[in-house]
Structure 1
Amino acid sequence: MTSVREPVDVVVAGGGIGGLSTAYALARSGRSVSVLERSPEFTEVGAGLQMAPNATRILKEWGLLDEVLQAGVVPRRLMFKDALDGSELTRLELDDAFVQRYGAPYVVIHRSDLLTILVRACERAGVELVPDTDVKDVVTDTDAAIVQSARGEYRGRIAVAADGLHSALRTRLSDDEPICSGYVAYRGTVPVADLGGEIGEEALHEVVVYLGPGCHLVQYPLRRGEIFNTVAVFKSPAYERGEQDWGGPDELDTVFAGACPQVRTGLGSLWRDRHWPMYDRLPIPSWIDGRLILTGDAAHPMLQYLAQGACQAIEDAHCLADELRREADLTDALKRYEAERTARTARVQTTARFWGDIWHVDGVARIMRNELFRERDQHSYKYMDWLYGEARPRGRPAT
């Protein structure tokens, strides 16, 4: 038997990082919020997250940055190396000048730790967290959004679709499907104490990215430097051949066989019993269907090359709360949110694809890329300001 609950201001479908960020941002501005999550618990699968200052600046404003810093690591630099010969290509110092320029630090944190921080923040803010509740549909009218689930109906002034890459609610706005890149990711974490002399002391204070032909490997510390995170990504030859079974551990070893010793050693830290095919979608111009709006991966799933998936979801949450707070007319507020965020995230999505292409070149293109990277002024922020800086001046409307 279904039931109808007391209405709230906002019902969020999806309790991942994007959904909880949205819920917290709205609750701290005084709105009543319910979050419906299909899983029995509010948990995240995976390992590390890179949180650039465009996100940590918002977490600071929300009063959550200290908790994030306590749970994570502030690396000293972001380093790019060649995966074949191990040579350094370029680096970005994440020092005081970087923090001063962007107003917050670059932080790496375990996904589950960030989710736990957001869950606790939502609880403190009075958000209703409802696990084991799969959203079936949303019905909207001029006054409300009715979110339908097996547990009953949840009514709000608006509904937020934060149900991820495979969002069922996105179908209300687009008939597109996730696009498989043909790349697959393997992840793994190992206690630093178990690594012995496999990595140097500097590696415990860096984010290192090894760029290779059709593959790359990323490493950085997590949980206050107690564990070491490794991610290996490669383009599957079996996928290219059109085979149904692709991306297995045998391909992982084959693709990375020609890599430098540091990279091949890193492969030993990976979980071999699971892997993650990499998908995104093309940008869409509309995120609003009546009182239903999209956010996070439901709105703009992106490849991971800019490490911006979670960061852009946090930006979404901040923007939505800001527009709803200072715009008296709800329809106008949602339209302003849509206009600002569709433009911003479309650029991030398309740039992430392009950046991935640059990472994975071979032959003459690899030689040219490496030379360009080595010639880069390491003190220049030319290519980061658009992404890490303010998306728009605070307190002023988007234009």
Structure 2
Amino acid sequence: MIIVGGGIGGLATALSLASRGRRVHVLERASEFTEIGAGIQLAPNALRILSELGLLEPTLSEAVQPVRAVMMDARTGDRLAELDFGEHFQRTFGAPYVVTHRSDLLTALLKACLASELITLENSRHVVGLKERGDEVLITCEDGSRYSARLVIGADGLRSACREYVLGDGPPVCSGDVAYRGTLPMALARHVSDEPTITWWIGPKMHLIQYPVRGGNLFNQVGVFTSDAYRDGVDPMSEEWGTPEELDERFGGLDERVSSSAALLNRDRRWALFDRPPASTWTRGRVTLIGDAAHPMLQYLAQGGCQALEDASAIGACLADPTDIADALSRYESIRRPRASLVQTWARRVGDIVHGDGLLAMLRNALLHQLEADDFRYVDWLYQGSHSS
């Protein structure tokens, strides 16, 4: 089996398959296995899978376990709602909620892959073409190298060559939102809680999320806003929209804790946000998709990486005895596609809600004020989600 893409989802899938005795070959486009970005939130549904893979302890070694998540009004500074991650939460969902650096998670996955005799890793292999011939898939890379396999799993992200082969549905959809993210030493951070906390500031067309990583030594921040300069006809990849000047304008005039924190965001790189509508299938013949290649989603539920880990667990279980690949892939899709599609859809909706203004914001805030810290009704379906066959 060949996995195209060596990010979090690709390496987790390699480990999931290898743990069931399957030999796996991973082709990664980049010259090394790295994660660009900063923090990642790992909800209980992700931690249960990392536990299955034997990676819970190394993942938690550098992670931070926040005591709560707090949602704040970015304009008024009012506390809107709180989610307590304490004993009751952990009993309910069978795992804690943690935050970590993306590179720390990838390093744990990579070390486990390197330790497995069943996993082969190759870098600088940019897959550009796939073709089925009989009971094999032929893979062509940009440098002319070629591979063949009985099964190909596309974990090659947002602009996936494997997805283009399976669905041919063109580029992903730009939301018009843009993110600025990064970490800074805790000593330079502003308005840090005494206890480790995820703080989510929400306001009109913007939000700012903050939490500690690396054992509390670094402070992760992500500022997201809807750009007024983005419109039909604008190149989503151009830098003529979502500029640092727009960032300062959008975060100016808010609660001082928000504007002073946003001033510390790294301006060296911006991330335009993309997703796609849920797909009708993830599979064509002997090629199937996982992670962002299958179900790219906006970040408003903090579930992109978590859902990729669920994919890894499910496809590993379904392919434990791959005598009938078509049946195995059909079972994999029946387990994962309805749930991942729901998460995609709700990620869009939550983005509209948290960035709302006017009457929508008034109704949202009134509802949030009514929630107790141990009321899990709106996250139960997400964190309890089944991931096995």
Unaligned runs of 5+ residues in structure 1 are 1-9
The C-alpha deviation readout for 1:3-56, integer Å capped at 9, x for no partner, is: xxxxxxx10111111111111111111111111111110011100000111011
Normalised to the residue count of structure 2, the TM-score between the two structures is 0.95
Amino acid at match of 1:124: A
The C-alpha deviation readout for 1:276-307, integer Å capped at 9, x for no partner, is: 00000111111111111111100000000000
Alignment of 1:1-399 (within 5 A): 10-126=1-117, 127-149=119-141, 150=143, 152-176=145-169, 177-195=171-189, 198-202=190-194, 205-240=196-231, 245-325=240-320, 328-391=323-386, 397=389
- Name the CA distance, whole Å, in 1 between partners of 2:233 and 2:327: 47
Question: Is the CA contact (8 Å cut-off) linking 1:141 and 1:290 kept in structure 2?
Answer: no
SS at match of 2:230: helix
Amino acid at match of 1:389: Q
The Cα shift of 1:101 comes to 1.3
Amino acid at match of 1:166: R
- Name the CA distance, whole Å, in 2 between partners of 1:104 and 1:23: 23
Question: Is the CA contact (8 Å cut-off) linking 2:82 and 2:372 kept in structure 1?
Answer: no
Amino acid at match of 1:172: Y
- Name the CA distance, whole Å, in 2 between partners of 1:146 and 1:12: 13
Amino acid at match of 1:238: A
SS at match of 2:158: coil
Amino acid at match of 1:50: Q
The Cα shift of 1:378 comes to 2.6
Question: Is the CA contact (8 Å cut-off) linking 2:89 and 2:374 kept in structure 1?
Answer: no
Amino acid at match of 1:208: T
Question: Is the CA contact (8 Å cut-off) linking 1:16 and 1:43 kept in structure 2?
Answer: yes
The Cα shift of 1:153 comes to 2.3
The C-alpha deviation readout for 1:107-132, integer Å capped at 9, x for no partner, is: 11111111111111111123111001
The Cα shift of 1:174 comes to 2.1
SS at match of 1:129: strand
The Cα shift of 1:61 comes to 1.5
Question: Is the CA contact (8 Å cut-off) linking 1:15 and 1:36 kept in structure 2?
Answer: yes
Question: Is the CA contact (8 Å cut-off) linking 1:231 and 1:270 kept in structure 2?
Answer: yes
Normalised to the residue count of structure 1, the TM-score between the two structures is 0.92
Question: Is the CA contact (8 Å cut-off) linking 2:130 and 2:139 kept in structure 1?
Answer: yes
SS at match of 2:280: coil
SS at match of 1:34: strand
Unaligned runs of 5+ residues in structure 2 are none
SS at match of 1:325: coil
Question: Is the CA contact (8 Å cut-off) linking 1:142 and 1:290 kept in structure 2?
Answer: no
The Cα shift of 1:217 comes to 0.3
- Root-mean-square deviation (CA, aligned residues, Å) is 1.6
The Cα shift of 1:380 comes to 1.7
For the structure 1 residues 190 and 218, does the alpha-carbon distance in structure 2 shift closer, same or farther, using more than 3 Å as the test?
same
Amino acid at match of 2:353: I
The Cα shift of 1:200 comes to 3.7
Question: Is the CA contact (8 Å cut-off) linking 1:141 and 1:291 kept in structure 2?
Answer: no
- Name the CA distance, whole Å, in 1 between partners of 2:354 and 2:233: 24
- Name the CA distance, whole Å, in 2 between partners of 1:110 and 1:151: 35
Question: Is the CA contact (8 Å cut-off) linking 2:22 and 2:320 kept in structure 1?
Answer: no
The C-alpha deviation readout for 1:235-285, integer Å capped at 9, x for no partner, is: 111114865510001000111112101101111221112100000011111
For the structure 1 residues 279 and 80, does the alpha-carbon distance in structure 2 shift closer, same or farther, using more than 3 Å as the test?
same
- Name the CA distance, whole Å, in 2 between partners of 1:250 and 1:18: 34
SS at match of 2:208: strand
Question: Is the CA contact (8 Å cut-off) linking 2:21 and 2:320 kept in structure 1?
Answer: no
The C-alpha deviation readout for 1:297-322, integer Å capped at 9, x for no partner, is: 00000000000101000000100001
For the structure 1 residues 243 and 132, does the alpha-carbon distance in structure 2 shift closer, same or farther, using more than 3 Å as the test?
closer
- Name the CA distance, whole Å, in 2 between partners of 1:151 and 1:191: 44
- Name the CA distance, whole Å, in 2 between partners of 1:243 and 1:82: 31
SS at match of 2:257: helix
SS at match of 2:131: strand
Amino acid at match of 2:188: D
- Name the CA distance, whole Å, in 1 between partners of 2:274 and 2:314: 25
SS at match of 1:238: coil
The Cα shift of 1:156 comes to 2.2
Structure 2 partner of 1:7: none
The Cα shift of 1:146 comes to 2.5
- Name the CA distance, whole Å, in 2 between partners of 1:200 and 1:226: 12
The Cα shift of 1:328 comes to 4.6
Deviates more, 1:14-23 or 1:328-337: 328-337
The C-alpha deviation readout for 1:342-378, integer Å capped at 9, x for no partner, is: 1111100000000111101111221111111001233
